[in-house]
């Protein structure tokens, strides 16, 4: 069997090969049902079994407490930028901490539905740092405070979620965890709502996960579309409208895969997290030791998932990318708003992929001597 190239895409992104193979093997006939998953009724016993296992496994994986609902929705992260204020704002102001493009986008969109404020911003640093929570101007009367816990484009990640109570504000924290969900644990005691598009760590685009504390459900603005009303979605077990069945199935295979991962004595999410830390440190250490490549994010704010970097000689970017592609290292081009390169090391990335990237970085650097 041919080795597949290493895919560093920021999303849609690489999935575990084992998951793709299972999905391929079951494509025409899921477990002897005679039906492929795409062809099943979402209300049939077969799909309900797939859905219930996926929900159960995600709850186990992320240690989601019983007073939080898991919703399988559509609309993506950008959809949630509107859906969250439509459900949670209740006519009050909403707060944002700006740490990169995605939190900026969320702040702007929320302004259509609520008075959208900025509690802190790292824009002056070029989004290379996270403002110290002690300096945030949190509105204690806001309906919630939103952060993007991993900024996919700028490569900035909260290593610890803020404790809003300790900051004197007893308001829910909303996290957009699209690009690092299932890569590390979530401290639910600090979170009211978490949302994530599936297409980075969980599966195909088209599925959006929302995990929301029960008391925050049931307060949607009258203009909220029914399909996006958390109360209706929760009451109908994510089947108020037809859910993204294929996405739920593939994500379910990914949850099962994560739960079975092992690293030494660690299993499941702990194993995945240890692997992610090892891989990201390996790449950051290499970049920091080199004068040819550069990552500009403050070490304390660096993402384990998305690692932007620049060549000192940017005129060689195209040559770098062509050489990478020729060696089976795909989708390393940085986001257009930041430039340079970006290596996304999601859960499905192997150590071998990171080593192959570093070997190429070394090789390319030598050609410039
Ligand atoms: N939030 C974050 C952190 C993201 O990385 C992305 C997608 N790259 C989005 C939101 C938007 O997701 P979607 O395109 O699924 O709407």
Asked if residue 85 lies in contact with residue 219, where contact means CB atoms within 8 angstroms, the answer is no
Share of the chain above pLDDT 90, in %: 98
Distance 245 CA to ligand 1 centre (A): 20
Measured CA to CA, the distance from residue 198 to residue 268 in angstroms comes to 18
Residue 78 alpha carbon, nearest atom of ligand 1: 16
Q: What is the mean pLDDT of the chain?
A: 97
ipTM: 0.99
For residue 302, say whether it is annotated as part of any ligand binding site.
Answer: no
The full DSSP string for 134-160 is GG----TTSS-EEEESEETTTTEE-SS
What's residue 225's pLDDT? Answer: 98
Give me the domains of the chain, ranges plus CATH numbers.
19-258 (3.40.640.10), 261-366 (3.90.1150.10)
What's residue 369's pLDDT? Answer: 64
What's residue 284's pLDDT? Answer: 98
Half-sphere exposure of 98 (CA within 13 A, CB side): 18
For residue 331, say whether it is annotated as part of any ligand binding site.
Answer: no
What are the Cα distances from residue 272, in Å, to 53, 61, 267, 302, 303?
20, 11, 8, 18, 15
Residue 208's pLDDT band (cuts 50, 70, 90): very high
* Residues in CB range of 349: below 8 A, 6 or more apart: 6, 8, 14, 279
Residue nearest to atom 9 of ligand 1 (CA): 77
Residue nearest to atom 6 of ligand 1 (CA): 77
Residue nearest to atom 10 of ligand 1 (CA): 77
Closest Cα partner for 6 from 352, 273, 323, 363? 352
Across the strands, what pairs with 69?
212
């Amino acid at each position: 069997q041919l080795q597949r190239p290493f895919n560093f895409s920021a999303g849609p992104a690489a999935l575990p090969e084992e998951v793709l193979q299972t999905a391929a093997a079951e494509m025409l006939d899921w477990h002897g049902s005679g039906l492929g998953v795409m062809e099943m009724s979402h209300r049939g016993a077969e799909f309900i079994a797939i859905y219930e296992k996926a929900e159960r496994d995600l709850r186990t994986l992320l240690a989601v407490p019983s007073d939080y609902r898991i919703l399988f929705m559509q609309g993506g992260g950008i959809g949630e930028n509107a859906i969250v204020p439509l459900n949670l704002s209740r006519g009050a102001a909403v707060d944002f901490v700006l740490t990169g493009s995605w939190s900026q986008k969320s702040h702007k969109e929320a302004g259509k539905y609520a008075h959208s404020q900025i509690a802190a911003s790292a824009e002056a640093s070029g989004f290379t740092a996270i403002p110290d929570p002690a300096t945030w101007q949190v509105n204690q009367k806001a309906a919630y405070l939103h952060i993007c816990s991993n900024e996919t484009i700028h490569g900035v990640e909260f290593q610890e979620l803020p404790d809003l109570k300790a900051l004197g504000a007893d308001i829910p924290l909303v996290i957009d965890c699209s690009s690092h969900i299932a890569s590390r644990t979530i401290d639910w005691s600090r979170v009211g709502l978490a949302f994530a598009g599936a297409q980075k760590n969980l599966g195909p685009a088209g599925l959006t996960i929302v995990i929301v504390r029960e008391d925050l459900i049931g307060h949607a603005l009258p203009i909220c579309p029914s399909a996006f009303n958390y109360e209706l979605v929760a009451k109908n077990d994510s089947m108020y409208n037809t859910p993204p069945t294929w996405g739920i199935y593939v994500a379910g295979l990914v949850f099962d895969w994560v739960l079975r991962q092992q690293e030494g004595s660690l299993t499941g999410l702990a194993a995945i997290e240890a692997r992610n830390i090892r891989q990201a440190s390996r790449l950051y250490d290499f970049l920091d030791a080199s004068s040819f490549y550069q990552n500009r994010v403050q070490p304390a704010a660096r993402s384990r998932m998305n690692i932007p970097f620049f060549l000192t000689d940017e005129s060689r970017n195209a040559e770098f990318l062509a050489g990478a592609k020729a060696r089976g290292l795909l989708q390393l081009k940085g986001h257009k708003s930041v430039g340079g390169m970006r290596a996304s090391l999601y859960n499905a990335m192997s150590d071998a992929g990171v080593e192959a990237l570093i070997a190429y970085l070394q090789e390319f650097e030598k050609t410039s001597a």
